[in-house]
Amino acid sequence: MDDRIFRNAMGKFTTGVTVVTTKLDDEVHGMTANAFMSVSLNPKLVLVSIANKAMMKTYITHAQKFAISILSQEQKDLSAYFAGQINETRTIYFQWFQEMPTIKDSLVQMICEVHDVVDAGDHTLYIGKVTDINTHSGDPLTFFEGNYHELIKGNQVK
């Protein structure tokens, strides 16, 4: 199957957008990811899929901890930045939570310890045990067919 057919099909699955962050010694690293999902309530587990070629894989492998920040619709620029799509290096002021860097003003910030790691083709699935969560009100940044969208809240589908 052609890669484009697969990508186009997966792009029909609307998601939120997260930034995964971690810290190794004194170095902080962030990466945009939408391959994120909730996995289990008891214990509280989430999953993020990281490309094997991403720098983030090395960081998480060594740190064994990561944070997930769910972005608000005002944070499209941060999503593009942490996806390496903005050709500049910025000074980012992270919000520290449980001694881990997270994205300030995001809708949710959660701290995870690596619970399990699964090789999956050209990606690695990191299953994290959630140890703490902060939530804030606001509207999510969404991603559909390769573009960012605002969620227009209207009538619920009956």
In terms of CB distance, is 29 or 65 closer to ligand FAD? 29
Rounded Cα distance between 15 and 107, Å, is: 14
In terms of CB distance, is 30 or 140 closer to ligand FAD? 30
**Sole window of 61-69, 75-83, 114-122, 127-135 interacting with ligand FAD (rule: CB under 6 A):** 75-83
Contacts 24+ apart (CB under 8 A), 57-62: 57/124, 59/22, 59/24, 59/27, 59/29, 60/20, 60/22, 60/114, 60/126, 62/24
Task: Examine residue 32 and tell whether it contacts ligand FAD (CB under 6 A).
Answer: yes
Task: Examine residue 72 and tell whether it contacts ligand FAD (CB under 6 A).
Answer: no
Task: Examine residue 82 and tell whether it contacts ligand FAD (CB under 6 A).
Answer: yes
x-or-dash pattern for ligand FAD, window 42-61, by CB under 6 A? -------xxx--xxx-----
| Among 72, 79, 102, 109, interactor with ligand FAD by CB under 6 A | 79
Q: Angle 98-102-105 (CA atoms, 0-180°, nearest 5)? A: 115
Residues contacting residue 113 through CB under 8 Å, at least 6 positions apart = 64, 65, 128, 129, 131
Summarize as ranges the residues that interact with ligand FAD (CB under 6 A).
17, 28-35, 49-51, 54-56, 79, 81-84, 89-90, 92, 143
